[in-house]
Structure 1
Amino acid sequence: MMRVYWQILQNEFQTLFRAKWVLGYGLIFLLLTDTLFRFAGGGTEVWVSVSNIMLLLIPIISLIYGILYIYQSRDYLELLLTQPVNRSTLFWGLYTGISAPLTVAFIIGAALPLSWHGGLTEGTASQLFLVLALGSLLTFIFVGLGFLMGLWFYDDKIKGFGFSIVIWLFMAVIYDGLIMVIIFIFGDYPLETGIIAVTMLNPMDLARILILMEFDISALMGYTGAVFNKFFGTSLGSLTSFGMLTLWLVVPAWAGLRIFKKKDF
């Protein structure tokens, strides 16, 4: 089974890297990081800016490509399923075969400008590692969500794309607005524990908060920044956050696998 898995993974890698848009995806981050090094002077400012764009760009691209792959590869999927291939092996091969090239393109694009700008110092090494690690995690999380939406709405592309856009819009924009409304309305009550619990239900918010803690700019967020710093600034808070991100990584992929194994293509 592992041999079949690696064959599928290798094939997806080759297919994706032959597609020029994947190289373009990495080029976006390369040009962005290079430009920031030239005009922002390097250091913390660069990685704060990269992380802000990463938190919006990676989820939507990963989500859309995940669902787009399911819809555009129907004939290919049905052909593979006629072969003596275990469905679980096929699913994981396709899933990692899509997620890994996107991750590699992001990491190379974001980190390569360091080689000619020399922006890696002892103080920024941990910041760079965190940004790249969170970007990689978000890629796998949202490709998994894309696979889940594509398989769930396999026969209805409009619903699949519609729900995917709504998921991204809700997590990227609406979710934070709802939290601020709750804080405004119920500000006289002890909301610290509730705010932390609600924040953990959104992987984009979790990644954003971990970046705020690493760059030590949570003070700019006022009350919510103080609440987050009190919990997420501790070792327990960091471990809990990465545990929740791992849960976000596992659950959509596991749900997609269940649908894939039971679906009559």
Structure 2
Amino acid sequence: MAIPSVTPLAAVRRSAASPSVVGTVLRHELRSVLRNRGVLVFGVGTLLLTDIVVRLTGSAPRAMSTLLNLVLLVVPLVTMMAGIISWHASREFNELLLAQPVKRTALFSALYLALVLPLAGAFSLGMLLPLAWHRVVDPASAMLVVTTVGSGLALTFIFGGLALLIGIRIEDRLRGVMTGLMAWLLLTVGYDAVVLIVATTLADYPLERPMLGFMLLNPVDLARSVIVLQSDAAALMGYTGAVMSRFLGSTLGTVAAAGGLLAWIVVPVALARRSFDRRDF
């Protein structure tokens, strides 16, 4: 005798009053994310690119320096676009879920984790598997590899929160995507241009210490500083990274930048959850 299948909505109704509602919604959202194959394409692309770079460079430090743009530019862009598009794609289903006895905090947690966990897994596996099978990681380069992958994961969680914040605040999908692109451009390209303009315009003033605080306004620059402080690639530090290395040193500078990244993870997610709780669906 065939056992009738349980729809996601029926499963949510059954577990709405129990702590497993997050797991139920999370499993459904994970299946939805994985079905569109975007995460698979991102993971395979990262794996192939890392494998090619490792084959050409032959060492983990040079491979990590070459893959710096993947971590700082591609990962935030993919996460931002995936988050905004997936939010608008599942909006009707979310409204249906909110009609059930489901706590908004639990639903938001499931939506956020369903966005960032597959992307984080695809990125980390795509980076680590080629390094493992080529056996290029030694004790001297292990910390650089961990820092690079960890910074990419941090940017995934940061831009996942920013994507949900933009998606929740802006109802129109096109406007949301354009806002996400503008935010990504501002944090990746525009920020460096602003820092350069300020540094050249006010070159006669001592700007080193104010720039340390200015760096906290950009998670991408924080991630770059964390990565480069573990390597000898001083040319890749940028202005704020060089200032951090000079005044704080490698160890203290890494701890300060990691603390800034943690704050960037918490604040956008908290703002997005607050907007989700207050939104009238």
TM-score range, shorter chain: over 0.9
For residue 14 of structure 1, report the CA deviation from its aligned partner. 2.6
Distance in 2 (alpha carbons) for counterparts of 1:32 and 1:139: 18
Flag the structure with more relative contact order, 1 or 2, with Cα contacts below 8 A and sequence separation at least 6.
1
2:37 matched to 1:16?
no
Change (3 A) 1:224 1:104: closer
Tell me the TM-score normalized by structure 1: 0.94
Q: Which residue of 1 aligns with 2:252?
A: 236
**Higher-Rg member (1/2):** 2
For residue 40 of structure 1, report the CA deviation from its aligned partner. 1.2
Q: CA RMSD in A?
A: 1.7
Tell me the TM-score normalized by structure 2: 0.89
Q: Which residue of 2 aligns with 1:258?
A: 274
Distance in 2 (alpha carbons) for counterparts of 1:124 and 1:88: 41
Q: Which residue of 1 aligns with 2:230?
A: 214
2:68 matched to 1:35?
no
Q: Which residue of 1 aligns with 2:8?
A: none
Indicate the SS of the match to 2:217. Answer: coil
Which whole-Å deviations, capped at 9, do the CAs of 1:172-221 have from their partners, x for residues lacking one? 11110111111111111110111111111100011011111111222565
2:152 matched to 1:127?
no
2:104 matched to 1:94?
no
Change (3 A) 1:234 1:76: same
Distance in 1 (alpha carbons) for counterparts of 2:90 and 2:192: 35
Selected match of 1:195 from 188, 211, 216: 211
For residue 225 of structure 1, report the CA deviation from its aligned partner. 5.3
Q: Which runs of 4+ in 1 moved over 3 A?
A: 219-226
Distance in 1 (alpha carbons) for counterparts of 2:208 and 2:73: 26
2:167 matched to 1:179?
no
Distance in 1 (alpha carbons) for counterparts of 2:61 and 2:263: 29
Equivalent residue letter for 1:239: V
**Percent of aligned pairs sharing the same letter:** 38
2:94 matched to 1:77?
yes
Which whole-Å deviations, capped at 9, do the CAs of 1:95-148 have from their partners, x for residues lacking one? 011100100000011111123211121112111111111111100110110100
The answer to whether the 8 Å contact 1:153/1:159 transfers is yes
The answer to whether the 8 Å contact 2:219/2:261 transfers is yes
Could you tell me which runs of 5 or more consecutive residues in structure 1 were left unpaired when the two chains were aligned: none
Distance in 2 (alpha carbons) for counterparts of 1:11 and 1:215: 41
| Equivalent residue pairs, number | 264
Could you tell me which runs of 5 or more consecutive residues in structure 2 were left unpaired when the two chains were aligned: 1-17
The answer to whether the 8 Å contact 2:83/2:160 transfers is yes
For residue 157 of structure 1, report the CA deviation from its aligned partner. 2.4
Distance in 2 (alpha carbons) for counterparts of 1:19 and 1:222: 37
The answer to whether the 8 Å contact 2:229/2:254 transfers is no
2:247 matched to 1:247?
no
Change (3 A) 1:197 1:239: same
Indicate the SS of the match to 1:242. Answer: helix
